[in-house]
Structure 1
Amino acid sequence: MLAFTALALSAVAAPSVAANWWNPKPRTVIGGAYVNVHQKGALGNGVHDDTAAIQAAVDSLPTSGGTVFIPAGHYMVNATKPIKLRSHTRLKLDPAATLEVIPTSAGRYMVIQIYNATDVRVVGGNLVGDRAKHKGTTGEWGYGINVTASKNVVLKNINLSNFWGDGIWVGAKDVGREHVRSDYVTINGIVSSNNRRQGMSIGPAQHVYIVNSTFQNTNGTLPEAGVDIEPMSEGLTNTIRLENNKFIGNNGNGIEMHAHISDIAIVGNTMQGNRGFGVLGVSAPGVVVTGNTMTENGLAGVRPSGKSHDWSITGNTLKYNSTRYMSATKNGGALSRDLQFGANTYNIKVSNNIFSNAKYNTYTR
């Protein structure tokens, strides 16, 4: 426990391990082999269970990896037996390819699992959950893609919708005697919609870059956020950047954060029409919120609460929030309409923001 506490404190104080770590294109080393899932018996006719055929395609690759291609079609999959990707593998879906969960009563499942792997890409297509046809009522962990204890992972241009739990999960697990966090995970061009628990959750991980993506209409079971960064007591989450994304119409908060995090950058995003806050931190340290536009959220645009500390809130447009209480088109109101602080927060720096009430535009803290 003492070691964990020391590590946590050092993580809060330390800057990113490398300046602009997110800028270089992710370099995943993918093998040269290639296989089409139809070669292994997948039909993609919307009826046949294609799980085993897709897995057989993955397993047929040599240890050096390669590309598994899923052509256009509607592939039914048994998500209680996830498609397990290995290192140096690309799963490439035609834009008109859909993997849909065969309805289950299981409270936990995943369509694609990336576990203890290095250099993995999943690109294109559509993943669809079973929430409308789910046979059970318990559990909340039905995932589209689960990335655990893996490094150099890219998820790109994928639509994920209607999952019993989260569209995407990124986190850690004990591998042997080592607690392994996911590292260098890039989420680019994802649309995560109408999932039941979260658009995306981040557990213990580092160097997670979420860019050009949309997280919308999460609803069904708490917390119902667009993205939730919540490692709890399982480890640390640090060096996370969310940039140029949209968080729209979620039943909870646009972005929600909790303890055991640091070095979180929320830059140039749009948070609109979420029923909760645009950005909420609960005892969440080490957060930069800059250049975002937050409008028409049910509660304030930004709220650091609990023992949140070491935040910078600069250059944002925070207007027409608190729509549970005020008109979304009416100027004015107190600062708290758009920006709120919990009583125990400290070292929160605020400057150069635009608010519903223009008299607060010069507010600094």
Structure 2
Amino acid sequence: MKKPLMLAFAALALSAFAAPSFAADWWTSMPATVTGKTKVNVRNYGALGNGVHDDTAAFQAAVNALPADGGTVYVPAGRFMINALKPIKMRSHTRLLMDSLTTLEVIPNSATRYFAIKVENVTDVRIVGGNLVGDRAKHVGTTGEWGFGIYVTGAKNVVIKQVNLSNFWGDGIWIGAIGKGTSLNRSDYVTVDRVVSSNNRRQGLSIGPAQHVLITDSTFQNTNGTLPEAGIDIEPQDQGPANTIRLQNNTFANNHGNGIEMHTNISDITITGNKMIGNYGYGVLGISAAYINVTGNTMTQNGLAGVRPSAVSHHWSITGNTLQYNSTRYMSATSTGGQLNRDLQFSAKSYAISVSNNIYSNAKYNGYVQ
């Protein structure tokens, strides 16, 4: 099949470079978190959960009361107000277990940066259940974009599971590193499982310098308020590398930016089995992003194309995806036809891009291979 000019350019470059290389199935053997057997209840340390009282100190007292080998802090149903300027700091080998009717809500502040829960330079931490709510509707200030729900930095063996996060001044979740250069301490082996991150201002979830990050069966939706407004943004840039990351079986819907956005200093990123629906930008956008595997996803009704390796992106494999009815800023979300670049685009500088077995809005491109 004859290739459009900008696609042909990428195809010519492919022969000069090796095919993408991805790590072994590391995600099938994520290490189990090790927590102690002691269990405490935050109400026994002064938490009221009445939606008025500042319960932050009580939460920290409960965490600190656990023995050296850690344990579980249980949070029963209630609305617990948290001062995110003095965040709850998790210790190693500790689990924060919240009832499904538990809400931790940020007390409104004017800060440009805050953290509801901080997982910093520790190991074996689990945060399970409950609802975390930011202060975006009541935030006193107008500047900044760094109000975080759960902030994981320089931590290892962390699980965030079945938590709902919404309305944060910045990101629902951040996963990154402490330090820089030779002192860089990246987060390692972090799992985000069955999380819903909604209506946050900057990102549903951001990944900075980190490795062995698995995001699975989660939803990132309705991000809006301050750029980039993506469902997930992988953007370590010059702080340090991000690699060995797998995004699988997630939904990215109605984000005001892109479903997934990626930048420089990343590699071995697999995006598989996800749905990108109704995002205002691209389903998946990479800006000078390298070694990306996009396979078995469904991307439909996004404002721009389903997939775009942009700038000097290279070594991508784009295969087995359904890319249909995209570019809705310019075309009907229900009409078939159009050019291939309605669903799949490349920048002139991208190279080593492998494409096969995708389904497009215009069926005549379904056999397209490069």
Q: Report TM bin, short chain.
A: over 0.9
2:101 — aligned with what? 96
- Write out per-residue CA displacement over residues 138-174 of structure 1, whole angstroms, 9 at most, x where no aligned residue: 0000000000000000000000000000000000012
2:311 — aligned with what? 306
Does residue 56 of structure 1 match 2:36? Answer: no
TM-score (norm 2): 0.94
Contact 1:128 1:144 in 2 (8 A): yes
CA RMSD after TM alignment: 1.3
Does residue 269 of structure 1 match 2:278? Answer: no
Does residue 83 of structure 1 match 2:88? Answer: yes
Does residue 139 of structure 1 match 2:155? Answer: no
Instruction: Show structure 1 runs of 4+ deviating over 3 A.
Output: 12-15
Q: d(CA) in 1 for partners of 2:341 and 2:244? A: 29
1:3 — aligned with what? none
Match of 2:237, SS?
A: coil
Query: What is the identity, as a one-letter code, of the residue corresponding to 1:211?
Result: T
Does residue 241 of structure 1 match 2:239? Answer: no
Q: d(CA) in 1 for partners of 2:21 and 2:345? A: 26
Name which of 311, 318, 343 aligns with 2:348: 343
> Residue 24 of structure 1: CA displacement?
2.7
Q: 5+ residue gaps in structure 1?
A: 1-11
Query: What is the identity, as a one-letter code, of the residue corresponding to 2:112?
Result: G
2:302 — aligned with what? 297
Contact 2:338 2:362 in 1 (8 A): yes
Does residue 215 of structure 1 match 2:220? Answer: yes
Query: What is the identity, as a one-letter code, of the residue corresponding to 2:224?
Result: N
> Residue 15 of structure 1: CA displacement?
3.7
1:250 — aligned with what? 255
TM-score (norm 1): 0.95
1:42 — aligned with what? 47
Contact 2:30 2:189 in 1 (8 A): no
Q: d(CA) in 2 for partners of 1:149 and 1:55? A: 20
Contact 1:182 1:206 in 2 (8 A): yes
- Write out per-residue CA displacement over residues 30-61 of structure 1, whole angstroms, 9 at most, x where no aligned residue: 01111000010000000000000000000001
> Residue 287 of structure 1: CA displacement?
0.1
Q: 5+ residue gaps in structure 2?
A: 1-18
Corresponding pairs, count: 352
> Residue 184 of structure 1: CA displacement?
0.2
> Residue 23 of structure 1: CA displacement?
1.3
Contact 1:26 1:186 in 2 (8 A): no
Q: d(CA) in 1 for partners of 2:261 and 2:181? A: 31
Q: d(CA) in 2 for partners of 1:176 and 1:253? A: 30
Share of identical aligned residues, percent?
A: 69
1:363 — aligned with what? 368
1:184 — aligned with what? 189
Contact 2:20 2:316 in 1 (8 A): no
Does residue 281 of structure 1 match 2:292? Answer: no
Contact 1:129 1:144 in 2 (8 A): yes
Match of 1:139, SS?
A: coil
Does residue 325 of structure 1 match 2:330? Answer: yes
Contact 2:20 2:315 in 1 (8 A): no
Query: What is the identity, as a one-letter code, of the residue corresponding to 1:364?
Result: V
Q: d(CA) in 1 for partners of 2:90 and 2:204? A: 22
> Residue 178 of structure 1: CA displacement?
2.5
- Write out per-residue CA displacement over residues 273-314 of structure 1, whole angstroms, 9 at most, x where no aligned residue: 000000000000000000000000000000001100000000
Q: d(CA) in 2 for partners of 1:338 and 1:62? A: 55
Query: What is the identity, as a one-letter code, of the residue corresponding to 2:210?
Result: A
Does residue 202 of structure 1 match 2:210? Answer: no
Contact 1:26 1:154 in 2 (8 A): no
Return the structure number with greater relative CO, CA threshold 8 A, min gap 6: 2
Query: What is the identity, as a one-letter code, of the residue corresponding to 2:125?
Result: V
